[in-house]
Structure 1
């Protein structure tokens, strides 16, 4: 009986381990392409058309300059893909804000809007900066002219390297509503890439280079 039990447990353990390994493998990031020093990876989400995005790149800048741009909410429409309007709803703390974006969608889709909270923190020892955006869709009454995005998360991890800052960006979003796969993939494929390119242009501006209003250690 002991032999049978041990054999059964061994088989179950093998099946469980294999299943977990297969699941983790299926959720690994897959390299897609590299453009202008920006490496793009995708990871499939569930059984639908959605994909998470990871981007790795290097900024010719310092940490405080990038943080200044990331927390300049009124200027989001100058670099974040398809954002046509952005407003700070409330300042929660020195490095934490709640904001509202309106997103221009290609016709005939209804435009989207999103309410999110951004928080930036820094490790005092390693100088690593983490910037996280978490959806807070109930933070503002719904507008009948927009589809409110209710599933959104983004994270920047910034580290000092020789000659600049290495950035890793992870992006997850479900635009909601009934959208064709091609349109969803347009925002997944082109959105983050164009936003990163826009951010790189923004941090070249003097108004970000000459300020460190958030106490970031470079």
Structure 2
């Protein structure tokens, strides 16, 4: 079924906004997400350094996606971006607002996000729990983001997304970093699954390309991953601050 070009652009914008703020991080993995090595992943798009796969979900008409990229940036620069609670607006396609809330800490924290949806779709908001783990021996960092919609009261005029699960893995490879991004979102509202699945693959490509660019900005340079006595990641701080400690 073909749609006018303007309609296709609108639906792409809608999907991008629905996925935007989930994206902004093993034992953390939720059962809702398929494993990275699960049978059934289908390669849907490949650029110079990004591959995007999709897979059907038994309990949903919306597919999950897996995006893999080898980024020309260090894991320190990447994590400096990822621990910034407002960085969603800098790199996730169509994310318009994001900030931390509550009394969380580095390993377990909360973020609130709002997406400015294209007319006539109502704006969406997300309440996310973000958990982070890292191992000094492997250098790998894992982040999990899950929707916890009841953690904050509903806001008039906004539609809250009540199911969204995201997993980020960052694996250092010399001066570069391999990123694996797995996500499944149930966008609330009357948006057909087949149309979302058709447009799904462009969102992680645009976002990961932008993320690599953002990591090169001055404010994300010269950071250090701080590990505790047992080799577990406990923080990401500017190198000067690490030296002062």
Matched residue count: 193
User: Residues 94, 70 of structure 1: CA spacing in aligned structure 2 closer, same or farther, 3 A cutoff?
Assistant: same
Instruction: Say whether residues 1:211 and 2:223 are aligned partners.
Output: yes
**Which is further off, 177-186 or 130-139?**
177-186
TM-score under structure 2 normalisation?
Answer: 0.71
- Aligned pairs for 1:1-218 (under 5 A) are 28-46=40-58, 49-181=61-193, 184-185=196-197, 188-212=200-224, 214-215=235-236
TM-score under structure 1 normalisation?
Answer: 0.79
1:100 shift after superposition: 0.7
**Which is further off, 130-139 or 186-195?**
186-195
1:187 shift after superposition: 6.1
1:49 shift after superposition: 3.7
Correspondence for 1:5: none
1:208 shift after superposition: 1.1
State the structure with more CA Rg.
Answer: 1
- Secondary structure at 1:78 match in 2: helix
**1:89/1:99 contact within 8 Å kept:** yes
Structure in which a larger fraction of residues adopt helix: 1
1:200 shift after superposition: 1.0
**1:109/1:179 contact within 8 Å kept:** no
**1:27/1:44 contact within 8 Å kept:** no
Gaps of 5+ in 1: 1-23
Gaps of 5+ in 2: 1-34, 226-234, 238-245
